[in-house]
Structures are given as structure tokens and as C-alpha cells.
Amino acid sequence: MSGPDISVVICVYTEDRWEDILAAVASVRAQSRPALETLLVVDHNQALLDRLGKEYKEAEDVRVLANAGPRGLSAGRNTGIAASHGDVIAFLDDDAVAERDWLRHFAEGYADPRVMAVGGRTEPVWASGRRPDWFPEEFDWVVGCTYRGLPQGRVRVRNVLGGNASFRRGAFDAAGGFATGIGRDGDKRPLGCEETELCIRLSRAVPEAILLIDDRAVIHHRVPEAREHFGYFRTRTYAEGLSKALVARSVGADKGLESERRYTTRVLPAGVARGMRDALLARPGGAGRAGAIVAGVFAAAGGYVVGSVRARRGGTTFSVEPIEGGVR
């Protein structure tokens, strides 16, 4: 098969997602363009490591390994990168399933040797069966999904979204791995932006690099019932502000907030206007969506201020290490 060999890394941390993990692996195994291998990286959970080891003991296409770094998603991803054999490393969330042509669309993007990353579209699967009336599509990133305001088609972007993304191996050779201390660690904060920081760092290390999103590369991401409530929405948007402060400190506010300025000044005001229009037309949730957008902006801004102060005082740090032991 022409094109790059692709390794898929799925980082896992809790037995509570056992069925989700099995479904994620099954979706990779069902790809129209087969993966070279699937690596399950277990984040400091011996019981889960042992259970998955038994589950895939006879599987030649699935490897189970322990996170070799500190707790958290970034170190888990770096462990997977270092252990992988593929020319391209793709990342899939442990509570998501990929559509059949997911890897095929990723592979097509790498026909241009300047392309260093290709991301896809992530659709929410709500535990309640439907989107809460008050939950604005502009904030679907809160639940790890593609949000209103992202460009459509196959387009160049500043950064891909980590739960549905792929990188050429050379990207990590040039820029190092994911920064530890900034990404997810169970339910601790901050809760994201590690892929944003990596992509900006990559673009600086390789100025000619092209980063793409192809919205035909689709995964479906489960949103548990606990994340359908406003309390989680408020907490997650605040945490995003904390993370964005770290990114801005690392790469500068100019690049670190470049996309966010357009999002805040164009996409969100349009969302508020739609919500208020729907409210005037007596459509369900219109006022709630408008209010949630405003609340989300204020929560993220508050998190950014607090995160900036902490970063200046040295209270929150993260580090970037080269990927050791990568297989060529």
C-alpha cells in the first residue's frame, strides 16, 4: 500500500472506560487502510495494564505498554511515539471510535512532504442521546470535539486537536515531544492545549511545515452525562484559560492566542446573536446558549489571568523533552 505506515496510539488510564477502550481498538482494526500497529499506553494503572495485557496477549497488531514518564496524557503520548514503528503516528482518544476511512484520509494528507500534521473532525456522542439545548456548538471543544468556527474541508491550520490527530515522525525529531505538565492528568487541571503548544513549537522549528485539518477524517467521541452539565462547562472553560496562559508564556501571546482572537471577536459574537435570535423566535435553548457563551468567555478569561500570574511566579511549569528510543 502506497503512502506512509501509520502507528495509532491510544492513551488509557482507567478501567471505567474498559468497553470504550475495546471499541476504540476495534475501530482501528476495522480501518479501510490498515494501521501498522495499535499501541495502548497505560497511565500508571497496574490493574488496567495487566487486564489489557491479557486481553491482547495473542494480538500481533496491538501492543500494551506502560507510560514511561510522569503521570498524564503528554508523557503517555511520548511513550507511544518512542515505541512506535510508523512513519506517521496517529492519536485516538480512549473514549472515541474512528470511522472506517479515518486513516485513509490522514495518509492522503502526507502526499506533500511539507505536511507535518493532519487532524480530523470529532463528533460528540451525547450520553443523554441529544445535545443539551443550552450547550453552544461554538464550545464543543469543552467536550473534546470539533466546534463551530473551525474551517471546513481540508485546510491549513495553526494547530490540530489532540484526540483526533496525526504527526509525521520527523515532527517530533524537529520539535521534541508533547510538553509534560500542561496536558491532561486524569481530572486534574490544566486540562489541555498541549497539542497547540507542540504545533506552534513545530512551526517555529520547521518554518515550511504545513499543518492540516481534513474534516473527512471523522471520529465519534463519547460525552458522559457528567459533562453535559453547566458546572463541568464552567470548570473546563476556566481550565482552558489556565492552559492558554502556559502556552502564551511558552510561545508568546502573539502566536499562542492568534486563533483565539478571531474566535473571540467573530465566532462567539455571532453565536450570541444566533442564541438571542432563537430566543426571540421561542426556539428551545436560545437564551441559554447565548448566556453559556458569555459565561464561557468570562470563565476562560479568569483562568487566563490566574494562569498568567501563576506562570510569572513560577507556580506552574512544564517541560519539553526529546523523544528517546524512537524506532525508524
Question: Which CATH number characterizes residue 95's domain?
Answer: 3.90.550.10
Give the mean pLDDT of 275-286. 94
Confidence of residue 256 (pLDDT cuts 50, 70, 90): very low
Q: How far apart are the C-alpha atoms of 180 and 127, rounded to whole Å? A: 30
Confidence of residue 3 (pLDDT cuts 50, 70, 90): confident
Note whether residue 273 is domain-resident: no
Note whether residue 276 is domain-resident: no
Note whether residue 91 is domain-resident: yes
**Residue 42 carries which side chain, given as an amino acid letter?**
V
Based on the structure, what is the number of domains in the chain? 1
Q: How far apart are the C-alpha atoms of 228 and 275, rounded to whole Å? A: 18
Domain that holds residue 40: 4-224
Confidence of residue 162 (pLDDT cuts 50, 70, 90): confident
pLDDT of residue 317: 57
Note whether residue 311 is domain-resident: no
Note whether residue 194 is domain-resident: yes
pLDDT of residue 242: 86
Which range has the worst mean pLDDT, 47-51, 263-267, 284-288?
263-267
pLDDT of residue 261: 80
pLDDT of residue 328: 45
Note whether residue 268 is domain-resident: no
Say what the pTM is: 0.91
Q: Is the pLDDT of residue 255 over 90?
A: no
Note whether residue 205 is domain-resident: yes
Note whether residue 321 is domain-resident: no
Other Cβ atoms within 10 Å of 100 Cβ, number: 12
pLDDT of residue 183: 55
- Computed over every residue of the chain, the mean pLDDT equals 90
Q: Is the pLDDT of residue 190 over 70?
A: no
Strand-strand pairing, 62-66 and 96-98: unpaired
Q: Is the pLDDT of residue 289 over 60?
A: yes
Classify residue 205 as left (phi > 0), alpha (psi -120 to 50) or beta.
alpha
Give the mean pLDDT of 108-128. 97
What are the backbone angles phi and psi of residue 296, rounded to the nearest 5°? -65, -40
